[in-house]
């Protein structure tokens, strides 16, 4: 077993070198936000879609666009609006007068990385069309089903401070996202670095006046491709081979079970939990921990890996009761309490 783990470690150390190169490339454009960049790569390595929540101006769109540029992947940004139709997303049939036939016109969802900007701005029928593509990795136009390109990753953003003119995602649909990230403000030091970069006289004058989100195409800050989509698919296969000890597996089970039956673990929060995490959370938590170990060039998962990614996997899967909301206790607070109380192996 030890010899197999050593061989696997050597392969992972070699094949995970792109992680540091990709992080450095994205760092040409993004100041700070290492948490967000790490989690985007976790989703990419696990074939898991990500929901990013944060106030405007935190470089969510720019980070996704820069990641796609570093991957040499096809990228599409879709701005969700109240008048958007499912056909605007997946495509439709166009009548060819010359041939007298209907021909498919594929929509922007046919790309490797999809940025669904402000997903909660579009009505439920559009959200459902995207979520079906996320789940099935295919789209039906007319009577023909077309596979989506691989890798296929949906990164959706939503603004938590604005509720007018929005259509909040139902909990069952939010559960389709592997991770939910809370993107926060930069530190004072990072914000000073952003300011200095934007005031650099060598940067394009118009881009500097536009604000933080200057885009990876801005002069002197161009993100170069460092890995192909084929290499990403190969890395995914390697991530699956990362070793998880039986004790760590049981720890994952305990964490997820505690969201459903906290009293079994002597945690007094049952009256605050309406619904706990589904078995999908168990699978995603194990996969995310494996991917995080890969990012750290390791061939085995530690309990710290589980704790590091656990909040992002579980925060949107633990639904608080009305009593919890009345006392301003969030799903995130409940997950944090569970990680504090469940015994670490």
| Helices 229-240 and 34-46: angle between axes, nearest 10 degrees | 80
Q: Kindly state the average pLDDT of the residues 93-122.
A: 84
How do residues 201-227 score in pLDDT, each as one tens digit? 555 444 433 334 444 444 356 778 888
How do residues 107-120 score in pLDDT, each as one tens digit? 899 988 889 888 88
> Which of 81, 165, 73 has the alpha carbon at shortest distance from 116?
81
Higher pLDDT, 99 or 89: 89
Q: What is the pLDDT of residue 165?
A: 62
| Mean pLDDT across the chain | 83
Ramachandran area for residue 183 (φ above 0: left; ψ -120 to 50: alpha; else beta): beta
Q: Kindly state the average pLDDT of the residues 34-43.
A: 86
Q: How confident is the model at residue 96 (pLDDT cuts 50, 70, 90)?
A: confident
> Which of 14, 10, 16, 11 has the alpha carbon at shortest distance from 292?
16
Domains of the chain: 16-217 (3.40.50.300), 242-341 (1.10.8.80)
Q: How confident is the model at residue 164 (pLDDT cuts 50, 70, 90)?
A: low
| Helices 34-46 and 279-295: angle between axes, nearest 10 degrees | 110
How do residues 167-192 score in pLDDT, each as one tens digit? 777 777 788 899 998 877 777 887 88
How do residues 250-282 score in pLDDT, each as one tens digit? 999 999 999 999 998 888 888 899 888 889 999
């Amino acid at each position: 077993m030890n010899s197999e783990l050593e061989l696997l470690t050597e392969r992972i150390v070699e094949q995970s070198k792109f992680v540091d190169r990709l992080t450095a490339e994205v760092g040409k454009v993004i100041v700070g936000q290492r948490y967000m960049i790490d989690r985007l790569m976790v989703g990419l390595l696990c074939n898991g879609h990500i929901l990013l929540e944060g106030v405007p101006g935190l470089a969510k769109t720019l980070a996704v666009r820069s990641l796609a540029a570093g991957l040499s992947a096809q990228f599409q940004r879709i701005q969700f609006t109240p008048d958007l139709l499912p056909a605007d997303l997946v495509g439709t049939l166009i009548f060819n007068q010359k041939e007298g036939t209907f021909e498919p016109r594929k929509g922007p969802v046919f790309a490797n990385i999809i940025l669904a900007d402000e997903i909660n701005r579009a009505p439920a029928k559009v959200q459902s069309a995207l979520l079906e593509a996320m789940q099935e990795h295919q789209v039906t136009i007319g009577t023909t089903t077309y596979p989506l390109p691989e890798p296929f990753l949906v990164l959706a953003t939503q603004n938590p401070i604005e509720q007018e003119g929005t259509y909040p995602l139902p909990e069952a649909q939010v559960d389709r996202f592997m991770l939910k990230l809370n993107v926060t403000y930069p530190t004072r030091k990072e914000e000073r670095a952003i300011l200095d970069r934007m005031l650099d006289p060598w940067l394009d004058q118009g881009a500097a006046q536009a604000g933080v989100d200057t885009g990876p195409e801005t002069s002197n800050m161009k993100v170069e491709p460092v890995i192909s989509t084929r290499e990403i698919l190969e890395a995914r296969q390697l991530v699956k081979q990362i070793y998880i000890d039986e004790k760590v597996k049981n720890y994952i089970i305990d964490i997820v079970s505690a969201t459903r039956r906290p009293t079994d673990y002597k945690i007094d929060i049952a009256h605050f939990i309406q619904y706990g995490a589904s078995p999908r959370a168990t699978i995603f938590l194990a996969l995310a921990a494996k991917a995080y170990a890969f990012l750290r060039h390791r061939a085995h998962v530690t309990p710290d890996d589980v704790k590091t990614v656990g909040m992002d996997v579980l925060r949107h899967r633990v639904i608080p009761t009305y009593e919890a909301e009345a006392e301003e206790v969030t799903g995130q607070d409940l997950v944090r309490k569970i990680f504090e109380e469940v015994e670490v192996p």
